[in-house]
A and B are shown apart, each in its own frame.
Chain A
Amino acid sequence: EPEVTQTPSHQVTQMGQEVILRCVPISNHLYFYWYRQILGQKVEFLVSFYNNEISEKSEIFDDQFSVERPDGSNFTLKIRSTKLEDSAMYFCASSEGGTSGTNTDTQYFGPGTRLTVL
């Protein structure tokens, strides 16, 4: 069964450094997403991406963050100048897209990358 994959599973970085989190969405999916989950808190939406551009972003997704689809398979989240409070689990998700209000909206999540900022 196709699945979303993410690398690395755990990333440790120093405060102020840049990190790139990588995701490979399910191959026939058209919509891609990033979420984060700070330990013990709820899953929070960061950004959605469709047709090579951001379709929606949350207040969390400020200038520190950027996303890119550098090739036909990868979808990346870049965090510039990391802060201690960026420590969280980052989930990538993808959905097939299509007719609104159907199961094609179902988002499938990758296993996550745990980011630790020291």
Chain B
Amino acid sequence: GQNIDQPTEMTATEGAIVQINCTYQTSGFNGLFWYQQHAGEAPTFLSYNVLDGLEEKGRFSSFLSRSKGYSYLLLKELQMKDSASYLCAPDNYGQNFVFGPGTRLSVLP
């Protein structure tokens, strides 16, 4: 089975930096995905970590520690359009995605 935990809600100010954490326990693990979901829309792919460490992709970076079952998504220079839910999903050998509950991020002016 899988157990995934994320904070339910976070609030930050435009221009700031925010870190969204995800802890997981899975029976099989290849890597970890992060998706962004705006209200009423489909999840869209943000990042995929296979190896331990930080991967940077523009304003968004994602970190993984396989031994600790821990990942975080780091968003820099926050913009209003970053207000969305952020979903982490352990990659269970490419089979079903069990998404975490999602963290709803509100970016305030």
Contact = CB atoms under 8 A, between A and B. Distances in A.
Interface of A: 31, 33, 35, 42-45, 48, 55-56, 58, 89, 91, 93, 95, 97, 100-112
A109 B44 contact: yes
Residue among A44, A103, A109 with the most chain B CB within 10 A? A109
Given A107-B45, A109-B44, A33 B97 contact: yes
Contacts, number: 64
B42 A101 contact: no
Interface of B: 30-31, 33, 37, 40-45, 48, 50, 87, 91, 93-102
6 contacts: A33-B96, A101-B50, A106-B33, A107-B33, A107-B97, A112-B42
Given A111-B41, A111-B42, A100 B30 contact: yes
B100 A100 contact: no
Given A106-B45, A112-B42, A42 B99 contact: yes
A102 B51 CA distance: 11
B94 A95 contact: yes
Nearest to B102: A42
Nearest to A44: B99
Contacts of A33: 96-97
